[in-house]
Amino acid sequence: MFPRIVYESFRRQARRKVLAGIAITLGVAVATAMIAVATDIGDKINRELRSYGANLVVTPQEDTLDVEIGGVNLKPPSDGAFLNEADLPKIRGTFWHHNIVGFSPMLPVTVKLGGSSAKDVTLLGTYFNKALSFGKDDFTTGVRITHPWWKVACGDGKESPNCGWPADDSQNILLGERLATKLSQKPGDTIEVAGRQLTISGILSTGGAEDDQIVAPLALAQQILGKPGAVRRVYVSAMTKPPDALSARDPKTMTPEVYDRWYCSPYVESIAYQLQEVIPHSHAEQIRQVAQNEGTVLSRIKGLMLLVTLAALFASALAVSAAMATAIYERRVEVGLMKALGAGNLAVSAIFFAEALLLALAGGLAGFSAGALLAHQIGRSIFNSQISIEPVLFPIIMTIAVFVTFAGSAAAIRRAVKFDPVFALRGEG
């Protein structure tokens, strides 16, 4: 009898059931999309924060002081220690290599320009977009990834085969914006640098010290300096976890368990520690301007999205319970009839809860799929990347859907059951 009542109720009142089902579907869809976005927003914003540039710098352990004002290096060129370029691909071998977005080696060399102006200029050797491999892992890295605000302009504003970012194995260079104006050079010209004729492949604009410098492929800078494989420092851009009480502790004072937890969390400190492990004789340090602030910004945005998600969950819970309450309130006559025929409160409630359960499961399933689609759309249109729905979210969402539907129906069911059957049947309510 019980299944038949429920079945007939769905068959005969299909329109009402569809309305309640739609409300549940919409509510669950919004909840799913918001939870998916909120759980993924940290990772997404972390990637956007990488546009502030590298947050770690690796220098030789035995380095001498930098003597540099406004980007002009005043130190004798061969002074100080160097890192070995051959060690760099090992950065991809660290525990957190998936979190390392990119790295760029830097080798500043003071050079003399030929021609009329025999002035000293800094030539900076680096990777632009260099293809490297570590083990079976092929990847590209360089300033185009770690320094996204660097822009290369050509005279006519368009990139052509002769103008743009130089290849990493070429003898072409980029000329800083202000230096180019000073020397009145343009892309395609050749310029004598340290006795070599080099082609300018573009004008570099960074808004920083590089605007007064020449930027060249690393190999070229090494040739000019006469030190193959030398690198002065390496900038590393890594996605990190905001600092907390554990991150600030000194690994030397930790117990083995705490140390493992610290080592296996992507704190900027633990990534720096791991970089030091793979690059011999190096010292890795966080660039505090970038590293410290991104933690603050990230936790603010995550906190905001969490609160907004709570608001969304609250609103969709209300919408579902309002729809259920309306649907049940309309069926008091039925309740009156059932009770007049001798049904107990429990039996009547059971029927309504069974119906609510079916509605919640159907609406929850449809809502979950719709919400996944919605999250996907949000990810695509805002972040240009996938927002992945964790499979573990499905049972959680279904539980929430059933719980909210039950909670929303409970008050209405109680009122419907308490209603005097005589009044209900007489149609007075």
Partner 1 sequence: MPGSLHTPKQVADRRAGSPHTSMFVRMLIRAAVLRRGRAASALLAMIVAAAVATAMMNLYVDVQAKLRTEFRSYGANVVIVAKDGQSLPTDALAKVESVLGAKTLAVPFSYAVARTHDGQSVVVVGTDFARARRLNHWWKVSRWPGAPNEALIGMRAANVVSPNHQPFELSFQGKVIQLAPAGMLQTGAGEDSRIYLDQSEFQSWTGVAPSTIEVAANGTAVEVEASIRQLAQVLPAAEIRPVRQIMEGEANVLNKTRATLYASATLVVLTSALCVLATLIGWVLDRRRDFAIMKALGASERLINGFFATEAAALGVVGAIVGFFIGIGVAAWIGRANFHAPVVPRFSVLPYVLAGSVAVALISAILPIGLLRRVQPAMILRGE
Q: Is 175 left (phi over 0), alpha (psi -120 to 50) or beta?
A: beta
- Our finding on whether 407 is near partner 1 (CB under 8 A) is no
- Interaction with partner 1 in 59-98: which residues (CB under 8 A)? 63-70, 74-75
| Binding string, residues 38-57; x marks residues near partner 1 by CB under 8 A | ---x--xx--xx-xxx--xx
**Nearest residue (CB) to partner 1, 23 versus 216:** 23
* Cα(140)–Cα(137) distance, integer angstroms: 10
- Our finding on whether 326 is near partner 1 (CB under 8 A) is yes
**Nearest residue (CB) to partner 1, 160 versus 377:** 377
- At which residue do the structure tokens 């001798």 appear? 342
DSSP 322-383: HHHHHHHHTTHHHHHHHHHTT--HHHHHHHHHHHHHHHHHHHHHHHHHHHHHHHHHHIIIII
How far apart are CB 24 and partner 1 at their closest, in Å? 11
Please check whether residue 178 is in contact with residue 212, taking contact to mean a CB–CB distance below 8 angstroms. Answer: yes
222's CB contacts (< 8 A; 6+ apart) are 85, 107, 125, 228, 229, 230
**Nearest residue (CB) to partner 1, 219 versus 241:** 241
- With CB under 8 A as the contact rule, the residue among 89, 208, 229, 421 that binds partner 1 is 208
- With CB under 8 A as the contact rule, the residue among 319, 365, 373, 398 that binds partner 1 is 319
Interacting stretch for partner 1, rule CB under 8 A, among 120-128, 204-212, 213-221, 362-370?
A: 204-212
- With CB under 8 A as the contact rule, the residue among 139, 329, 394, 406 that binds partner 1 is 329
- Our finding on whether 250 is near partner 1 (CB under 8 A) is no
Please check whether residue 427 is in contact with residue 333, taking contact to mean a CB–CB distance below 8 angstroms. Answer: yes
Buried b (16+ CB within 10 A) or exposed e, 380-404: eeebeeebebeeebeeebbebbbeb
Interacting stretch for partner 1, rule CB under 8 A, among 135-143, 187-195, 314-322, 356-364?
A: 314-322
- Our finding on whether 325 is near partner 1 (CB under 8 A) is yes
How far apart are CB 223 and partner 1 at their closest, in Å? 26
- Our finding on whether 3 is near partner 1 (CB under 8 A) is no
Half-sphere exposure of 312 (CA within 13 A, CB side): 20
How far apart are CB 302 and partner 1 at their closest, in Å? 9
Beta-strand (E) ranges in 223-266? 230-231, 233-238
CA 130 to chain centre: 23
CA 80 to chain centre: 37
How far apart are CB 275 and partner 1 at their closest, in Å? 13
**Nearest residue (CB) to partner 1, 395 versus 427:** 427
Residue 111 has φ and ψ, to the nearest 5°, of -125, 160
- With CB under 8 A as the contact rule, the residue among 78, 197, 289, 345 that binds partner 1 is 289
Neighbours of 98 (CB within 10 A): 11
**Nearest residue (CB) to partner 1, 198 versus 335:** 335
Neighbours of 69 (CB within 10 A): 9
How far apart are CB 297 and partner 1 at their closest, in Å? 5
Amino acid identity of residue 66, one-letter, is D
Please check whether residue 55 is in contact with residue 290, taking contact to mean a CB–CB distance below 8 angstroms. Answer: yes
- With CB under 8 A as the contact rule, the residue among 291, 348, 397, 404 that binds partner 1 is 291
- Interaction with partner 1 in 220-249: which residues (CB under 8 A)? none
- With CB under 8 A as the contact rule, the residue among 115, 157, 395, 427 that binds partner 1 is 427
- With CB under 8 A as the contact rule, the residue among 14, 167, 258, 382 that binds partner 1 is 382
How far apart are CB 425 and partner 1 at their closest, in Å? 9
How far apart are CB 320 and partner 1 at their closest, in Å? 8
| Binding string, residues 14-43; x marks residues near partner 1 by CB under 8 A | ---------x--xx--x--xx--x---x--
- At which residue do the structure tokens 């759980």 appear? 39
- Interaction with partner 1 in 338-377: which residues (CB under 8 A)? 374
- Our finding on whether 106 is near partner 1 (CB under 8 A) is no
| Binding string, residues 141-170; x marks residues near partner 1 by CB under 8 A | ------xxx---------------------
Half-sphere exposure of 316 (CA within 13 A, CB side): 29
- Our finding on whether 426 is near partner 1 (CB under 8 A) is yes
Which helix (H) or strand (E) element contains residue 56? strand 56-60
* CA quadruple 22, 27, 31, 33: dihedral sign: positive
